[in-house]
Chains A and B, each alone.
Chain A
Amino acid sequence: MRDISDAADLMTTAREALLRDLLPALTGERRYAALMIANGMAIAAREHRLGTDAARNEAARLRNLLELVPHDDAAKRDDKSTGDLSTLRSDVSAAIRAGAFDADEHEVGHSLAHTAADWVAISNPKALRT
């Protein structure tokens, strides 16, 4: 337990105040706007708690996938093998489009589904199914 509210707690507490103190006084388009604001705050709070892990795990999974790609393609990546998440996404995307993963349907589908689920847990956990 900490003494001072962190970003996630501030976001959560501000959202609770919005829903408790302001929402009952709003109707129509303003009510809709308040609900959107509450949704944005909830996502931000969850991303503050879970986003770092989600990004790190996604990067690890993407690196693992690139290991599956034949050596020729891997050679071109040598200079950016320490690439950030955005580079990894871009490399895997290009390899998928080129058909380099066609033989690894199970591994790739499983890996990408895992990552997608991590991000759904942040953006809209209600959409997760077991």
Chain B
Amino acid sequence: MIKDETLSDAVDTAETNALARWLEGAMHAQDVRVLRYERLPGGAIQDNFLLDVDIRGGKWQGEHAFVLRTDAPTGVAASLTRAQEFAVLRVAHAAGVTAPKPLFLCRDTSVLGREFFIMTRLPGVAQGHRLTREPALVPDGDALARELGANLARIHAIRPPWRDALSRIATLATDGEHATDDESVTIAPPPANPALAAIAEYRGWLDKLDDAYPALEWGLRWCERHAPATYNIALIHRDYRTGNYLVDSGRLTGVLDWEFAGWGDPREDIGWLTARCWRFSGADREAGGIAAIEPLLQGYADAGGIPISRDDLDYWQVMAHLRWAIIALQQAQRHMGGGERSLELALTGRIVHELEYEVLQLITRSSR
């Protein structure tokens, strides 16, 4: 997530010097000067840095505003590596998805000590509590919801196998600006049954926790018994929600945070985006706290998305709350047992109660 305030780092450090020398090679430039290099707050899982550079020589001549994305010290289960995320972002970008343009990948850990990639920095506000509360930021919620739906349909138009998805960018990337070893990067193969695969994965995560959670087990069992018999498999983002996209002048400028992307049931993304837990100050506006559900689904359908029923929404919103509850528990465990004392992580654990409550409300509503 990109926020306005930044923690400042000095620009002339061993780190920025190593980065500048590496960029000179990647950009075929004579000289790269780092003008600003500041950690962006809000990344619980990834570290994002604002990066302004002044380039002399080569096709990148001039000043540029980038974001550098690298691993945070504590990794989280089910997250892509930076090389995988870079490849997914390139595939999405080539499919016309509104997202930051991925530019350079560095897998050489001798530069910054971790893999990283560099992407364009897009304008806009991401914070969910602001987007759902300040009408000046979203003057036309229906229009934004239609854009969000259309953009999601473009992601879901990307279908397996991975090598076919990759072949599209190979034909597009004729300018030679990208790292060349994409062929070696793959993502996990499509699951046999996406809902059942998710349930098995979440149970595995629950089993690694110290306590047991009957309400979450009840939700998972309900999802298992009501798993959809038919489904499509597509590239899904898995964190497509308010708070993870940028809005500038009321328009969508980019979807961020692709670290959980992979093959799955497209309805999982719709459930995540519309789940009550991601509506911030707009609890009654089902489309991410931004608008009613209709414009979102209209934008999705108009751009080629599959039909979404009320049952689909209920089912995948239950799944969304279960997923977020278990991830929240993992974050709480980092505080309680993982040697990473943090009030923010501790409070994240406390939201599990309202997520359980919402799971049970949805199941009751859906069963009657």
Contact = CB atoms under 8 A, between A and B. Distances in A.
Contacts of B343: 33, 36-37, 40
Contacts of A39: 347
Give the bracket for the number of chain B residues in contact with chain A. Answer: 20 to 34
A67 interface: no
A41 B235 CA distance: 42
A116 B358 CA distance: 9
Nearest to A28: B5
Interface of B is mostly: helix
A28 B225 CA distance: 46
A5 interface: no
A112 B212 CA distance: 13
A102 B225 contact: yes
A124 B367 contact: no
Given A28-B5, A89-B212, A116-B215, A123 B351 contact: yes
Contact of B357 (A29, A40, A92, A117): A117
Contacts of B183: none
Report whether over half of chain A's contact residues are helix, strand or loop; otherwise say mixed. helix
B114 interface: no
A90 B212 contact: yes
A45 interface: no
A99 B221 contact: yes
Contact of A123 (B350, B358, B367): B350
A110 to B, nearest CB: 8
B38 to A, nearest CB: 13
A112 B203 contact: no
B354 A124 contact: yes
A97 B351 contact: no
Interface of A: 28-29, 33, 36-37, 39-40, 43, 62, 86, 89-90, 92-94, 96-97, 99, 101-102, 105, 108-109, 112-113, 115-117, 119-120, 122-124, 127-129
6 contacts: A40-B343, A101-B218, A109-B364, A123-B350, A123-B354, A129-B361
